[in-house]
Amino acid sequence: MAAEQIAARLVSKLYIVRTSWLFTPGGNNFVRKIIAAADKHGRLRVVTDEVANPTYAPDLADAIARLIQTDHYGSYHLVNEGYCSRYEFALEIMKQSGRESIPVVPITTDQFQRASTPPPFAPLRNTVGAALGISLRPWQETLADYFARIGE
């Protein structure tokens, strides 16, 4: 937030876009990591108490392009519709990738070691963008698009 405030003081025409849990067919992201872990271990342990919005990078790019055409400067939350826990996201990844037979065990964040501590409940709502006619489809649909693009 501090960087956003500094940028707003320096530039009068500014778009600030906040997003969450970004994934795309290329690169290193949660979807790819979950599939790799499932294939390697035959079992997953995924946190249930971390909740936010999975957001598909191609949808976000399209939404930003449409936003720029509006000339309505300001702050926006641009995320795909709906939110879930990491556990629910992993279950849907397993289902859509044909790996529903792989067990996904729910755990809490205190059972999962990592360097950072993200906020436990951080869904964003796309209210301002939606008021301008910029809506993103449900995250479950984008996951299907992801798998169609990677040929899985």
Does pLDDT of 17 surpass 90?
yes
Residue 37 placed within a domain: yes
Q: Which secondary structure element, helix H or strand E, spans residue 91, and what is its range?
A: helix 86-96
Q: What token pair was written down for 19?
A: 């997003």
Residue 6 placed within a domain: no
Residue 2 placed within a domain: no
**Number of compact structural domains in the chain:** 1
Q: In this predicted structure, which of 2-6, 125-129, 130-134, 140-144 has the lowest mean pLDDT?
A: 2-6
Residue 3 or residue 86, greater confidence: 86
| Domain CATH code at residue 131 | 3.40.50.720
Residue 95 placed within a domain: yes
The region that residue 10 occupies, defined by phi over 0 for left and psi between -120 and 50 for alpha, beta otherwise, is alpha
Residue 3 placed within a domain: no
- pLDDT class for 147, splitting at 50, 70, 90? very high
CA dist., res. 21 & res. 55, Å (int): 6
CB 62: neighbour CB atoms within 10 A? 14
pTM (2 d.p.) = 0.94
Q: Which secondary structure element, helix H or strand E, spans residue 126, and what is its range?
A: none
Residue 47 placed within a domain: yes
Strand partners, 55: 22
Residue 24 placed within a domain: yes
Q: Name the residue range of residue 134's domain.
A: 13-150
- pLDDT class for 27, splitting at 50, 70, 90? confident
Residue 81 placed within a domain: yes
Q: Express each pLDDT in 83-137 by its tens digit.
A: 999 999 999 999 999 999 999 999 999 888 777 778 889 999 999 999 999 999 9
CB 45: neighbour CB atoms within 10 A? 15
Strand 51-52 vs strand 84-85: parallel, antiparallel, or unpaired?
antiparallel
Q: Express each pLDDT in 35-67 by its tens digit.
A: 999 999 999 999 999 999 999 999 999 999 999
